[in-house]
Structure 1
Amino acid sequence: MKKIIIFILLFNLAFGGEGKFLLNSYYNPNRLVFRLAKSSFECSLLGVAVPFYGRDNQCIVESFKKMSHQSIGYFQNNLNLEQLYSVRIENGFCILSYGNTNFNEKIIKDGYGVVNKNGILDMEFLNRLLYLQDLAIKNRNGLWNSFYNEMDCFKNSY
């Protein structure tokens, strides 16, 4: 596992680009599994925290299961298994894109996640995510529509 991530990091440094990998599965919205020829690797999305059932958070008590189902539904509708995605590893986290769509940004903009500042070294990227989060809040996108107070508390915990 470590060898695979080191390989991807070296690839990113050497070629300044992104590797293309098949999305194999995700067992919660924060952990994506990509397939390689003889193995796989998993990563969390850089800058994104998504509510999912089974995670303790003082903000999301009774609504947590409903929020989890909606966020998983969002992933099912927006990420295709066995699709080839561009993956860039930064500070141990991944930035996922397909064509011109950056999924880290899309999840925040669509209101199904909040900005997790941990691990972000690129301030321009962080500011972009915070801007998209502000738009999602203002427009009551996604979970911000039905679970505003829970999402606000969740946001403040990161």
Structure 2
Amino acid sequence: MREQQIFPPEKMNTGSQKLGRVILQLQRLERQPRTFGEAGVLTPSEIHTIDAIGCEGGILMSALASRLGVTKGAVTQLVTRLEAKALVTRTTHPTDSRAVMVSLTEKGKVAYRIHEEMHHEFYQQLRLQLDPDEIAVFEKCLDKLSELLRD
């Protein structure tokens, strides 16, 4: 086990305050709908649903709910909205008639690719600001933060 470092209180407060500001900025971003090409304006929950579906090409509704950390009812509502926008389709699972699969339409795939490009461009901008050692530390910090938030 790694020895815990002790930081002076003034350093802890500064780091804590900065983390708090970053979290607030992320929350603000998560409330802003964005335009994703021909897919139009999508809310963060809609594009994250598209992203979760796009990762697999098609996914069971129950697995989608689990991946997004929401109820099956919430996923049903999201998928219904995305279906109305012609971004996803629902089909019966080929071997289990009780299960429902969700997949992206061509229009949904466009939104997925644009979202992926946005993330890639943001990360490329970040890489221009940091040297390789700083990127390695940053990525390790993201892993640790993700572990802490998982609980």
Higher strand share: 1
What TM-score range do you get, normalising by the shorter chain? under 0.3
Query: Please, what TM-score do these two structures have when normalized by structure 2?
Result: 0.27
Higher helix share: 2
Structure number with the bigger relative contact order (C-alpha 8 A, sep ≥ 6) is 1
Query: Please, what TM-score do these two structures have when normalized by structure 1?
Result: 0.26
